[in-house]
Copies of this chain bind each other. A is one copy, B any other.
Amino acid sequence: MAVTIKDVARLAGVSASSVCRTLADPGAVLPGTREQVEKAVRELGYYPNRAARGLSTGRTGNLGVVLPDLANPFFASVVKAAQTQARRLDYAVFLSDIDEDPAVETMLIRALAKQVDGFLLCSPRSSDDELRAFAGHTPIVLLNRRIGPFPSVTVDAADGMRQALTHLHALGHRRVAYVAGPRSSWSNRERLRGLRSVAGTLGVDLVEVGNVPPTVEGGVSIADVVLASTVTAVLAYNDLTALGLLNRFHARSVAVPGDISVIGFDGILLSALVSPALTTIAVEMDRIGRVGVDLLLETMTDPGRTPIRRVLPAQLIVRASTGPARPS
Contacts and interface: CB of A to CB of B under 8 A. Distances in A.
B70 A60 contact: no
Contact of A114 (B2, B108, B243, B269): B2
B51 A115 contact: yes
Interface stretch (A36-44, A93-101, A175-183, A298-306): A93-101
A84 B60 contact: no
B216 A273 contact: yes
A220 B287 CA distance: 25
A80 interface: yes
B96 A87 contact: yes
A132 interface: no
Interface residues of A, number: 49
A137 B50 CA distance: 17
Could you tell me the dominant secondary structure of chain A's interface residues?
A: helix
B97 A115 contact: no
Given A77-B71, A274-B273, A114 B51 contact: yes
A21 interface: no
Interface in A1-27: 2
A55 B51 contact: yes
A213 interface: no
Interface in A54-92: 54-55, 60, 62, 65, 69-71, 73, 76-77, 79-80, 83-84, 87, 92
Contacts of A83: 70, 95-97
Contacts of A137: 2
B97 A94 contact: no
Contact of A243 (B45, B80, B94, B273): B273
A112 B92 contact: yes
Contacts of A152: none
Please give me the 7 A-B residue pairs with the lowest Cβ-Cβ distance, nearest first. A95-B95, A51-B51, A70-B80, A49-B114, A76-B76, A83-B97, A70-B76
10 contacts: A51-B114, A65-B95, A70-B77, A70-B83, A71-B76, A83-B95, A83-B97, A92-B112, A94-B95, A216-B273
